[in-house]
Amino acid sequence: MLVPKPLVAGAIVLWITASALPLPAQESAVAPRAGPTAISTRDMVVSVSRPASEIGSQVLNQGGNAVDAAVATAFGLAVAWPEAGNIGGGGFMLIVRAGEEPVFIDYRETAPAAATREMFADGKPPSQYKLVGVPGTVRGLALAHEKFGRLPWDKLIAPAIALAEHGVIVNDALAGSLNGALAKSPDFPELRRVYAPPEGRDKWQAGDKLVQPQLAVTLRLIAIEGPDAFYLGRIAEQIVVEMQRGGGLITKEDLAGYQPLERRPIHGTYRGYDIYAPSPPSSGGICLVEMLNIVEGFDLRKHPRWSSRTVHVMTEAMKRAYADRARYLGDSDFVRIPPQLTTKEYASDLAKTISLAKTTPSEQLAPEIKLAKESEQTTHFSVIDRGGMAVSNTYTLEQSFGAKIVVRGAGFLLNNEMGDFNPQPGITTRDGQIGTAANEVRPKKRMLSSMCPTIVCRDGEPVLVTGSPGGRTIINTVFNVLVNRLEYEQPLEEAVDGLRHHHQWFPDRISLEGSRIKRHPNLVRELEALGHTVTTRYARQGDAHSIARDPRTKRLEGVADPRIDGWAVGN
Ligand code: DON
């Protein structure tokens, strides 16, 4: 990441969550099958976009499984939520199937072969063309489908093609997202053309229709010819021409050589629950499990959830885990990552360094890292099908609308994910830039991510599916939701809605959501008394569209995060 990320979420999130915890009876009596929250005993899809969730739900209704629904939803989001839904970016899909080992599909972008360690080292703002990583989404979704899908590939893309052709009905969230992109992109003419408001108007408003005919053609090629249309065929040619136009690095060979990878997810436990989350190149799983292991020894529930004691202990865990993130984490195909980071013994040693009376200054946590002077658009979706298969997927273009480069003639956006590499080797700053070796740029390397699609299981069955956008805040958003749910046994709506906090080692300060801090009038003062610096300037942290499942009754509860318009649908 080139700059510390703002905390406002602007991503796509689709979650399916299941819970072992009983839910209040009156909720189930009134809960609808679809809406910001939904209940079903069959299946559930939750994402940031109503049409995308409906596409996933239809696929489930037609006999598709959770992976089919996830693939269809992902293509739907590429049409209906262009700031983060994508075919020109990358991401992670976590899959849990009854009685089988969980699977993690890594479709993170890679650095082009011509990338170099020093390419961003001068500290100047790089050209967006140089920030584009080799996209992974299309081959990643294809790999998931080939291994686990049930319905034909083209059938899963057909609803997205129809949506692009006939148009997405714009709601307030999409209007705001499109207007924001247009206001911030005076130098990107193709973006301005493709996402132009209706004739004669200078702004989008709810009720308008976004039609994307070139994207429909691109999706049709992918549906008919398969993923090779994107990596070897006409779309690859269009990407290469676009790169040459702006001085980008991606070549025909980079695209042809891109491969998604099947990896073992990170596995941890917390109070009898099994936690599955992404392995490197995401930092999500390791940091999440490290934080949960640290707080497990503190008996958090003896104190109220938003007491300064609980927030302090969680924050101290965050600081230590994020210091380890800077110290050790990068693409594990390029760097050796110490295996002890997710062990209970390691966490217990770290827990002993936590004082309940005073925060530990960040500078003391990784003294060997020399300190120099001195947006967040991703989306997550969750799915659970009637066979109990769960999918947690987070994917991204990195910033909102990625590099803002729309591939001419093809109607889709390219990512600017190269910004997730450490830009200046050796330069780590107190304001959050990291310059450690593990995440330096190398040809074909995957840049470190914080995306953290997570599935919690009990006795082998999923009980919660969750994840979020939000750059480096993502891991802490998931940590907050898991603590709310697993430690404090909150109903899912409360677990998703509650105040979130974030600390990422540097800057050495806690961020508490401005939109929710009034609910906790003494918290800032009490944290300051423990030595913390506190900011409340960021209104919202992430959007965690989640699903909880009761393994006994099979009841599914879908909750779209109230921080953004989202939609849960059950059949
Ligand atoms: O992979 C990552 O961690 C970042 N590129 C994610 C960016 C992000 O979440 C932006 N959005 N809300």
pLDDT in tens, 283-342: 999 999 999 999 999 999 999 999 999 999 999 999 999 999 999 999 999 999 999 999
Which tens digits make up the pLDDT trace of 164-218? 999 999 999 999 999 999 999 999 999 999 999 999 999 999 999 999 999 999 9
Residue 152 and residue 90 in one domain:
yes
In a domain, 509, yes or no: yes
- Res. 552: pLDDT tops 90: yes
Q: How far is CA 194 from CA 80, 178, 190, 397, 484, in A?
A: 13, 11, 6, 17, 42
CB of 477 within 6 A of ligand 1: the answer is no
- How much is the pTM? 0.94
**Is residue 454 flagged as an active site residue?**
no
Residue 138 and residue 19 in one domain:
yes
Residue 183 and residue 293 in one domain:
no
Cα of 384 to ligand 1 centre, how many Å? 24
Residue 169 and residue 112 in one domain:
yes
**What's the number of domains the chain is made of?**
2
**Token representation of residue 521:** 């009038």
Whether 449 and 265 have beta carbons less than 8 Å apart is answered as no
Query: Percentage of residues in the chain with pLDDT exceeding 90?
Result: 92
CB of 476 within 6 A of ligand 1: the answer is no
Q: Which of 137, 218, 342, 378 is catalytic?
A: 378
Residue 109 and residue 15 in one domain:
yes
Question: CA neighbours within 13 Å on the CB side: how many for 524?
Answer: 14
In a domain, 65, yes or no: yes
**Token representation of residue 63:** 């006999």
| Helix/strand/coil (H/E/C) assignment for every residue in 421-452 | CECCCCCEECCCCCCCHHHECCCCCECCECCC
Which tens digits make up the pLDDT trace of 93-152? 999 998 899 999 999 999 999 999 999 999 999 999 999 999 999 999 999 999 999 999
Residue 151 and residue 279 in one domain:
no
- Res. 241: pLDDT tops 70: yes
Q: Domain of residue 307: give its range.
A: 263-375+449-552
CA distance 128 to 249: 11
Mutate which of 451, 473, 563 for ligand 1? The one with the most ligand atoms within 8 Å of its CB, which is 451
What pLDDT, on a 0 to 100 scale, did the predictor assign at position 6? 32
In a domain, 512, yes or no: yes
In a domain, 328, yes or no: yes
What pLDDT, on a 0 to 100 scale, did the predictor assign at position 544? 98
